[in-house]
Amino acid sequence: MTSDQMSSDYFIRWIFLGIIAVIAATWLCALHVTIEFGAVAPKLQFASVLLLFSTVYVGLGNRLLVIRRPVAVVSDLCLSILQVMVATTVLLPLTYLAATTRFPLLDDHLAQLDALIGFHWDAVAQWVRQRPMIDWVLQCAYASCPVQASALLLIGSIKRPDDRNSEAIWLLIVSLLITTAIFAFTPALGKIGHVGTAYLNVLEQIRGGNWSVLSFDRAEGIVTFPSFHTTLAILFTYLVRHDRWALAIFGPTNVLMILSTPTVGGHYLVDLFGGASVAIVSVVVVRALRARIAGPRAGGMADASLKVGDLHLVLK
């Protein structure tokens, strides 16, 4: 993408997130659900700092050409983190809203599918618990999402400043939307892993029609099928596919994260297949979407070049 195309891509993502925010807010109002913004306030303060830093760095880069690239990297990273923060804040309520559809729970069916492929959750969980070192490694891998996401944004900003981590952020948005859409029709309670039971209380409250407050202070991941951790593990690895050194780190880490989802996250094994499918579809959709955003301008440039070439032939 050219610089103008990358800026347009970034702007389009903001518009897209704005539309999602309006939809979520309208839906919450229709359900008479109030929002507690306690945990959002510090994010807004941090976002303001990021925006300020980005503005200052852009100004410095334009004035001091010698430091333009490092300034571009810092600015890109600030704007990327800002958009990810807003995206996660806007998309989180959608998972809660999806649970209001109250479709029948699929736990029995998911457990039966696990049994068909020879996976028995209780036996596997017990095996892992009896091996504390393996259990600890899997817990660390499961909790590595924030660290991996931060590292990916940093790598993206260093390698492609001014790109605003386009591919990574689009993949986050699209994959979470697909996951939420599937979850609306395939709710499940899952198993009790290391994540505890707090999410069950939230899910049962929503499904029981007793949900009246959305609190960002006590936000819980309530999606069982498909496994979003599996989706992220595949997407994280995909995003570093061109960097051998990063792939050598992210690859094994995300294999462990996928392996950790049943016992740590309380997922059925078939949830992992669902998460993998979401990752594949997200990659296809995002590649088509980004090509669409870049296409018209690229096509216009090609047409212009052709016309100049035709004029040159006529003059000869």
Dist. CA 33–CA 276, nearest whole Å: 33
b/e per residue, 81-113, with b = 16+ CB within 10 A?
Answer: bbbbbbbebbbbbbbbbbbeeeeebbbeebbeb
- Mean of the per-residue pLDDT values for the chain? 84
pLDDT at 307 over 80: no
Q: Are the beta carbons of 79 and 157 closer than 8 angstroms?
A: no
Least confident of 95-104, 270-279, 291-300: 291-300
Using DSSP's 3-state secondary structure scheme, residue 13 falls into: helix
Structure tokens at 142: 């499961």
What is the pLDDT at residue 163?
82
Encoded amino acid at 202, one letter = V
Dihedrals phi, psi of 35, to nearest 5 degrees: -115, 130
Residues 6+ apart with CB under 8 A from 117: 269, 270
Does the structure show a pLDDT above 60 at 303?
no
Confidence of residue 1 (pLDDT cuts 50, 70, 90): low
Q: Tell me the per-residue pLDDT of 188-237, one tens digit each, with 9 for 90 and over.
A: 999 988 887 888 888 888 988 888 888 777 778 889 999 999 999 999 99
Contacts of residue 234, defined as CB under 8 A and 6 or more positions apart, other chains included, come to: 254, 258, 275, 276, 279, 280
* pLDDT reported for residue 54: 61
Rounded Cα distance between 208 and 84, Å, is 32
Least confidently predicted of 27-41, 106-120, 232-246, 279-293: 27-41
SS3 212: coil
Strand-strand pairing, 213-215 and 34-36 = parallel
> Do residues 135 and 128 make contact, with C-beta atoms less than 8 angstroms apart?
yes
Q: Tokens 């804040």 label which residue?
A: 89
pLDDT, one tens digit per residue, over 44-69 is 666 666 666 666 655 555 555 545 66
Judge if the upstream peptide bond of residue 226 is cis by omega within 30 degrees of 0.
yes
* 8 pLDDT higher than 70: yes
Alpha carbons 135 and 127: distance in angstroms, whole number? 9
Measured distance CA(217)–CA(96) in Å, rounded? 14
Strand (E) or helix (H) holding 236 = helix 228-239
pTM: 0.85
Cβ neighbours of residue 169 under 8 Å, at least 6 residues apart? 13, 80, 83, 84, 87
For 76-93, write each residue's pLDDT tens digit. Answer: 888 888 899 889 989 989
- For 312, counting Cβ atoms within 10 Å of its Cβ (0-12 exposed, 13-18 middle, 19+ buried), the class is exposed
Task: For 136-159, give the secondary structure using H, E and C.
Answer: HHHHHHHCCHHHHHHHHHHHHHHH
Longest dimension (CA), the chain: 83
